[in-house]
Amino acid sequence: MQLTTDPGAFPPAPPPSTTDASAIADHDWAAFANVEEMTNHWDRRGWTSSTRAYYWMLTFPDAALLIDQARHCQKELRPLGFDDVDEDALHLTLGRIGTVEQVSSGQLDYLIATAHEVRPEAFTLRAVPLTASRGAIRYSVAPWTPTVALHAALGRAGAAVGLLPKKPTSAFRPHIGITYSNRCMPAGPVRDAVSPLRSLDSVVVPVKRVRLVELRREGRAYRWDLIHEMELR
């Protein structure tokens, strides 16, 4: 799957390499260097307190080193006053399937069965400190190649059951958010706060399974109910 430039993605253009961790991290940081103002992450069209939607996600409940480092980074970033992601809510979003009103139970069962048939092999990621987008502070991840392949496989499974992904794989930009911007403000102070944390070591994160969840908001946080956990090959 070839990644393409997409003005709705961040970064808009894909990195020069989808395998080299330094190239990916530098590309993410260079994109954030062009951001002048942070936005309110929670001001998102289509989301209300009653919205429930199905998503594919990678979650990291057993990644102790990642959790510890994310906590350290959140502590250092606390003067910004952003909304931290709880340690049990760290995730990499693979794609939105649809709202609970749009997706029938039969479609969901068929999707799970189809996804099992096309699921790729387990892989390992590196969470690379640290960068940001307009609405969040986040880890870069490397390599992109296996997550892009997983996204594409899940997209094919969705298309086979009439559930086209909201975003195409060509616009997929994998990352792990740790704290969300909750207001509009200049991006300069965020860059100043994040920059010292970029010298931290990357963290190895094994990826052995993908989760299908029913996502909701509780205040300024995401919570979910697990629908299905799919082991990778």
- List domains and CATH numbers for the chain: 38-231 (3.90.1140.10)
pLDDT band at 159 (very low <50, low <70, confident <90, very high): very high
Note the pLDDT of residue 225.
Answer: 97
Q: What is the rounded CA–CA span in Å between residue 136 and residue 183?
A: 11
Note the pLDDT of residue 1.
Answer: 60
pLDDT tens digits, 174-191: 999 999 999 999 999 999
SS3 (DSSP) at 66: helix
Handedness of CA 96, 99, 100, 106 (dihedral sign): negative
**What's phi and psi for 166, nearest 5 deg?**
-65, -40
pLDDT tens digits, 22-78: 999 999 999 999 999 999 999 988 888 899 999 999 999 999 999 999 999 999 999
Distances (CA, A) of 196 to 111, 129, 175, 192, 209: 43, 10, 19, 8, 32
